[in-house]
Amino acid sequence: MGRASSPAVFLDRDGVIIEDVDLLTHADRIRILPGVAQAIRELKEAGFALLVVSNQPVVARGLIDESGVAALQREVEARLILEGAPALDGFYFCPHHPRATLPAYRQACACRKPRPGLLLRAAAEHGIDLSASFMVGDRPTDLQAGAQAGCRTIWVETGMHLAPPIQSVEPLPPPRPDHVCAGLLQAARWILAQGRS
């Protein structure tokens, strides 16, 4: 395994990059949130790897298969590029759920946030320095996954930040983000300011 050296910004998808429509299964419901393309561009220009880490219980519920989730992500990325964003560096998702409709996906896995498995896998595959990285999410589970992986965490108020916590095998502590802001562009500006402080 290569030496971990690059910083990354890990991004939740629904509620951070796109509008959270609750169980996205069709491309016509994709809406890129304001400022996202610019935020991604600024972070990429500053040298951050950009990695999406997302729970996708739609698979466990039998609403769409894993290839369908990948196709929706390709559409998200195509729309971001149309808005002037660079390509993202990776997309990692958890298809499992502890109470999945489909038995094959019914498990308490290491990849479903709040567990840090998605971030750890992405970091290993991309040579990421987790201690120099950030996790941006709209739910306590995102923040917990980022903290457990050793990243600084940012809570954005563009998605389900006021919703009840998602189902998790372990109890979630109260969120303690390093920063709270209105959306991804503000998060990006804060991240970039850390390097100058």
Positions annotated as catalytic residues are 12, 14
Cα–Cα distance measured from residue 26 to residue 30, given in angstroms and rounded to the nearest whole number? 8
Between 117-126 and 140-149, two packed helices, what is the crossing angle to 10 degrees? 50
Non-local (6+) Cβ contacts of 73 within 8 A are: 13, 52, 91, 93
Cα–Cα distance measured from residue 152 to residue 176, given in angstroms and rounded to the nearest whole number? 10
| C-alpha distances in Å from residue 43, one per residue of 97, 137, 139, 176 | 32, 16, 21, 23
Token reading at 106: 């019914």
Instruction: Report CA dihedral (167, 168, 170, 174) to the nearest 10 degrees.
Output: -70
Token reading at 22: 């609750």
